[in-house]
Amino acid sequence: MKNRLLTCVLMLVAANGAVARDEPKDDGVKVGKASAFRNLVPAEGLEKQAALQFNQLKQEMSAKKALAPEDYPELQRLRMIAKRIIPYASRFNPRAEKWQWEVILIGSNEINAFCMPGGKIAFYTGILRQLKLTDDEVAMVMGHEIAHALREHAREQASKNVLTKIGAVGLSIATGGKYDGLVQTGANLLSLKYSRSDETDADLVGLDIAARAGYDPRAGVSLWKKMSAANKGAPPQFMSTHPSGPNRIKEIEAHLKEALPLYERAEKPKQWVAPVARAAPPR
């Protein structure tokens, strides 16, 4: 029975195939291979699930008047930065070229940001205002979050959940059933907690794509110093889903020699200038 179930797993992996691209074979920040576990769950199914949850979040925030309007300056700033970073995303995942990218800003004091499968990006005003992020630091956060989507860390987590139900998978295949439905695990894609190796992976991929977009990778160091300082009191939401440690900054610093040449030859963006505060902004 064990051998039959193992064969089913291998069949699922082969059927779905790889999506996230392994380390591009040229210059840039060196990263390892993307996890093979992710292939147990179809990418399309997870992206559809993410889009549904993202739309639900937008509706909830809009009802609370916490969703920044299209002309809101801080949202325009985020979209300006995203517009520069996104063209480099397909280096690490060819599916990114077809994603329906979205960027929203949520009025909340939470220090938080995320990017769901399929390119659904959200920032909270708390992370921008409380940490007083520069454009370079915003790009490091955004690059890191986009990297989670590109390297399909959520898909990897969902696949590991599937492995715990491997008996059901084997039974489904044996009886001619479909396994695609297993992606509908009820998992909340808005609050996934990634492994430490996933976090390092996202740091390095994010460093690469942000540097190519013209943002200073050294901002990764200043960002995490600010994040650590904010963590001295009650841990911000961002820290609960992005575990930090004494080696995180050292890891980034160790790869600056690979990222800085990308930044040095990139076209530099204009720095965003904060406009005069408008009435009743999202909190």
10-residue mean pLDDT profile of the chain (283 residues): values are: 47 50 70 75 90 97 97 97 97 95 97 96 97 97 96 82 58 48 55 80 96 97 90 62 71 95 95 63 59
Assigned domain for 124 exists: yes
pLDDT at 216: 98
pLDDT at 33: 80
Assigned domain for 187 exists: yes
**Out of 74, 137, 145, 199, which one is annotated catalytic?**
145
pLDDT at 54: 97
Residues 6+ apart with CB under 8 A from 201: 31, 32, 147, 151, 153
pLDDT at 185: 47
Domain that holds residue 127: 2-21+36-265
Assigned domain for 281 exists: no
* Residue 145 falls in the annotated catalytic set: yes
Instruction: Compute the distance between CA of residue 109 and CA of residue 16 in angstroms, rounded to an integer.
Output: 40
Assigned domain for 17 exists: yes
Assigned domain for 122 exists: yes
pLDDT at 240: 60
Assigned domain for 9 exists: yes
Instruction: Compute the distance between CA of residue 150 and CA of residue 83 in angstroms, rounded to an integer.
Output: 16
Instruction: Compute the distance between CA of residue 155 and CA of residue 148 in angstroms, rounded to an integer.
Output: 10
pLDDT at 231: 74
Residues 6+ apart with CB under 8 A from 268: 214
- Decide: 161 and 145 in contact? Cβ < 8 Å: no
Helices and strands: H and E segment counts in the chain: 12, 3
Assigned domain for 279 exists: no
Assigned domain for 274 exists: no
- Total domain count for the chain? 1
